[in-house]
Chains A and B, each alone.
Chain A
Amino acid sequence: MAATRRPDALPPHLSDKHKHVTCASDAPTYTSTPEYAGVYASLGIDNSLDLDELRREVRIDVKSLTADEMVFDVVGIDAPIANALRRILLVEVPTMAIEKVWVLTNTSIIQDEVLAHRLGLIPIRADPARFEERGDSESNESNTLCFRLTAKCTHNADKSTDAEPYTGARVLSSQLTWVPQGDQAAGFAAEPPRPVHDDILIAKLRPGQEIEVECWCEKGVGKTHAKWSPVATASYRLLPRITFHQPVHGPLAAELKALCPLDVFDIEDVAGVPTAVAARPRSCTVCRECVREPAWAERVSLQRVRDHFIFSVESTGAMPPDRLVRDALGVLKQKALDTAQLLKDTRAQADGDVDMAGAVGAADE
């Protein structure tokens, strides 16, 4: 029998387990998503993936967006898709980072390799879409950005007691100067490439010491080295859901409000009775303080909504966070397309081999 009813037709006790992870005082229960298409087959309910339904039900709501941080809700997808997005944000969205350092002079106490490593970790604001990955080819203006760092420390001529004794003692990222290659000067005139922050301490010098290096930035991804990761963090959590098995009134409501360290509950006047309501479930960290005592566990139910993901993306500043998410989805799409093509090619080749073997066999007879 072709089951046409969908999981939203599940009876309440199963629907609750289908939609929510329950966080009891000792352990969470029903943590894994029922994924198998035939999981509710005996009830005549079809749990397969329906693209039209998904298209109807996916909701995205941006909660906050600044130059380097954003929070948004994605409702209606499952963890494997959300996790693919998170993982791609961490290690597969390309950025620019210093990859080669040519040390012309380094008389500081920082060793060349340590200095090069520190330079590599400086986030660079330059649009990676305008560059190619260098791969095995020669460095040129389409795959490399060049910065020069020249720093020298001297005694300060001003000998007054409150003056700094040295000038140029602190080498900062602001001292990295961009050296345009080829036609880069015209192409990047609107937004000259530069370090995201000007106050990153690269080295400390004392009089007589100097550093002169040339840094070559290349395009790369975080799985090669973390310096190319475009995010400081990218994470998601499931929306907490707090419901009441029985209404919590009067002094108990005040007690519940006091129990919660994150001020999730409010006391509202419901039909003349002060009643506890879960006013701010997003503030909840699921500390389980409100269900720790058996008496409270009978009144309050603490759950997480299985398909409601609260994403938090914190960019290093190299690119705005909404752009990073779009890029990550682009990478996911490309990954699916590339793999599909690879599968088609492999299959065609295998079929070709079989045909060839058949042809050779026929010729032998």
Chain B
Amino acid sequence: MEEEPEGAPRETRTLSIDSGSDASKATFTLTHEDHTLGNAVRYILAKNPQVSFVGYSVPHPSEPKMNVRVQTTGVPASDVLLDSLVTLYKVADHIDQTFAAAVDEFKTKSSQRV
């Protein structure tokens, strides 16, 4: 009797880099990522003056795959992508702290009102 595989298959996230003629341009392919990370990273890279082109695509909605194309004015593309992820972390962290403070303030205020 064939054993049914137990549970859903574990998501193993992978990243592959397809470099062009030099390190300043590359296409990064991430699995198990979608518009959530793709558009956020694209936005942060577009705001980086060292980036001359950036775009992302999800080739097919039922395939868990996302491409990010980065071309820079000279610095390695993987460096600016790494920077953008660190920036995304810092932005999220700042929103997290601000949100926590705002919720605390709201709870204090509403408890005083009662």
Chain A residues with CB under 8 Å of chain B are 35-38, 46-49, 51, 54-55, 58-62, 65, 72, 74, 77-78, 80-81, 83-85, 87-88, 92, 134-136, 224, 322, 325-326, 329-330, 332-333, 335-340, 342-344, 346-347, 350
Please report the C-alpha to C-alpha distance between residue A342 and residue B30 in the assembled complex, in whole angstroms. 10
With both chains docked as a complex, state the minimum distance between the C-beta of A78 and any C-beta of chain B, in angstroms.
Answer: 6
- The answer to whether B47 touches A48, judged by C-beta atoms less than 8 angstroms apart, is yes
- Is A329 within 8 A of B99, CB to CB? yes
Chain B interface mostly: helix
Closest chain A CB from B10 CB (angstroms): 5
Tell me the bound Cα distance from A335 to B93 in angstroms.
12
Smallest CB gap from B100: residue in A: A326
Interface SS of chain A: helix
CB pair A37–B17 under 8 Å, yes or no, is no
- Contact between A51 and B46, CB atoms less than 8 A apart: no
For chain B residues 31-61, which have a beta carbon within 8 Å of chain A? 33-37, 39-40, 42-44, 46-49, 51
Give every chain A residue within 8 A of B101 (Cβ-Cβ).
Answer: 60
- Shortest Cβ distance from A218 into chain B, in angstroms? 8
Q: Is the Cβ of A333 less than 8 Å from the Cβ of B89?
A: yes
Residues of B within 8 A of A (CB): 6-8, 10, 13-17, 28, 30, 33-37, 39-40, 42-44, 46-49, 51, 78, 81-82, 85-96, 98-103, 105-107, 110
Q: A37-B48, A60-B102 are in contact. Are A337 and B89 (CB under 8 A)?
A: yes
**Complex contacts, A325 vs chain B, CB 8 Å:** 99
Nearest residue (CB) in B for A325 is B99
Q: Which chain A residues border B100 with CB–CB below 8 Å?
A: 326
Q: Is the CB of B78 within 8 A of A343?
A: yes
A-B contact pairs, 17 of them (CB 8 A): A35-B47, A36-B47, A37-B47, A37-B48, A49-B48, A54-B94, A58-B98, A62-B105, A77-B91, A80-B39, A81-B40, A87-B35, A329-B95, A333-B92, A339-B13, A340-B85, A347-B78
Residue with the highest number of chain A CB atoms closer than 10 Å, among B14, B17, B99, B102: B99
Query: A residues within 8 A CB of B15?
Result: 339, 342-343, 346
Which interface residue of B35, B82, B103 has the most chain A CB atoms within 10 A? B103
For B78, the chain A residues whose CB sits under 8 A away are 343, 347
A127, chain B: closest CB distance, angstroms: 18
Most buried by A among B10, B39, B95: B95
Chain B residues, Cβ within 8 Å of A88: 36
Q: Are A80 and B43 in contact (CB under 8 A)?
A: yes
> Which A-chain residue is minimally distant from B5 (CB atoms)?
A136
Chain B nearest Cβ from A335, distance in angstroms: 6
* A80/B42 in contact, CB under 8 A: yes
With the chains together, A181 CA to B35 CA distance in Å?
A: 39
Instruction: Name the CB-closest residue of B to A55.
Output: B94
User: How close is A319's CB to chain B, nearest CB, in angstroms?
Assistant: 14
| Smallest CB separation, A228 vs chain B (Å) | 11
Nearest to A3 among chain B residues (CB) is B49
Asked if residues A338 and B13 are in contact (CB atoms below 8 Å), the reply is: yes
Q: Contacts of B35 on A, CB cut-off 8 Å? A: 83, 87
Contact of A49 among B47, B89, B95 (CB under 8 A): B47
Residues of A within 8 A of B36 (CB): 83-84, 87-88, 92, 332, 335
Contact present for A81 and B48 (CB under 8 Å) = no
